[in-house]
């Protein structure tokens, strides 16, 4: 190994300690001369190391910090000045088109999505009671199927329907509930209206849509649960055609216009909510 590696690693760890990612204490000799530093995991490391399901939030961090996605930031100023989507300005295609042609990025995206969904869906099952009366659950924009897999293995009576290969902007499958998790934030209000109207059309009377999304606070604050949502909101600005995080009022307006009669939001985890729309 490179002779200066330990010193370099020390400097990296000291920065991480300054942000409370790791703990740090120094060891001195009897004269007070510094001998070494000792590092350990700070509480946030619980989320950055694999849990009993073999996933952690580190995959999502690695996805968002990947050089392909980071490139979008360099096009943000031009998008503010001239319009357009920063990611598309960088690569000439949308992220989903790009992932379709780049196996490494696709794997990174799927791993990031799967990891967060395993963690959040466990909390969804713990705190959202609305799956008891569902028999057929359609997962629109379900990705690798991890979300549905967790729900159907916890609720054996539920038959899960993946919406794979279909276009939710055209049509969605029928069921007695439609789950749409971390997907509406990829789309503009106009797109969301089309998707929600397609859901409304596909559902029988008294059925429901369960949107699982972060809800944007009206006023930003320096608390991590607020910072996290505004952070994802910027990622949506960088990479999607009009996608954004939404306030509860914005979800209410969309659901009303799509025809739904009521909205009830249940907090699940870290500002992620189950937003139930009744037909």
Two tokens, residue 100: 């379709």
Catalytic residue among 38, 157, 185, 191: 185
- Choices 70-78, 85-93, 162-170, 203-211; region in contact with ligand SAM by CB under 6 A: 162-170
> Crossing angle, helix 103-127 and helix 146-154, to 10 degrees?
30
| Binds ligand SAM (CB under 6 A): choice among 124, 182, 184, 274 | 182
Nearer to ligand SAM, 40 or 100 (CB): 100
**Using an 8 Å Cβ cutoff, are 271 and 263 in contact?**
no
- Choices 34-42, 130-138, 175-183, 267-275; region in contact with ligand SAM by CB under 6 A: 175-183
Backbone region of residue 15 per phi and psi (left: phi > 0; alpha: psi in -120 to 50; beta: other values): alpha
Nearer to ligand SAM, 59 or 117 (CB): 117
Within 185-214, the residues that bind ligand SAM by CB under 6 A are 186
Give the whole-angstrom CA distance, residue 115 versus residue 58. Answer: 8
- Asked if residue 142 binds ligand SAM (CB under 6 A), the reply is yes
Two tokens, residue 214: 């972060």
Within 90-109, the residues that bind ligand SAM by CB under 6 A are 96
Nearer to ligand SAM, 181 or 208 (CB): 181
Give the whole-angstrom CA distance, residue 178 versus residue 232. Answer: 24
**Using an 8 Å Cβ cutoff, are 184 and 192 in contact?**
yes
Catalytic residue ranges: 185
Binding residues vs ligand SAM (CB under 6 A): 96, 113, 117, 141-143, 147, 163, 166-169, 181-183, 186
């Amino acid at each position: 190994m490179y002779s200066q590696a330990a010193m370099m690693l020390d400097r990296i760890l000291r920065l991480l300690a300054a942000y409370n990612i790791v703990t740090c204490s120094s060891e001195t000799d009897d004269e007070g001369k510094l001998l070494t530093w000792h590092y350990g995991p700070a509480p946030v490391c619980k989320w950055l190391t694999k849990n009993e399901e073999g996933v952690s939030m580190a995959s999502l961090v690695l996805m968002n910090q990947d050089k392909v996605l980071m490139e979008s930031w360099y096009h943000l100023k031009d998008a503010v000045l001239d319009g357009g989507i920063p990611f598309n300005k960088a690569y000439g295609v949308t992220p989903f088109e790009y992932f379709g042609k780049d196996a490494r990025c696709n794997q990174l995206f799927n791993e990031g999505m799967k990891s967060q969904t395993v963690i959040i869906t466990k909390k969804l099952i713990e705190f959202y009671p609305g799956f008891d009366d569902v028999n057929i659950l359609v997962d629109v924009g379900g990705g690798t199927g991890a979300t549905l897999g967790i729900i159907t293995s916890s609720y054996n009576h539920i038959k899960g329907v993946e919406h794979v290969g279909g276009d939710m902007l055209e049509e969605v499958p029928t069921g007695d509930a439609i789950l749409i998790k971390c997907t509406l934030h990829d789309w503009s209000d106009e797109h969301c209206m089309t998707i929600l109207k397609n859901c409304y059309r596909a559902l029988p009377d008294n059925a429901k849509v369960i949107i699982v999304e972060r809800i944007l606070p009206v006023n930003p604050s320096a608390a991590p649960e607020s910072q996290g949502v505004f952070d994802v909101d910027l990622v949506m600005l960088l990479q999607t055609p009009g996608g954004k995080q939404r306030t509860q009022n914005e979800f209410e307006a969309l659901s009303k216009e799509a025809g739904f009669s009521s909205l009830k939001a249940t907090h699940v985890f870290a500002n992620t909510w189950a937003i139930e729309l009744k037909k």
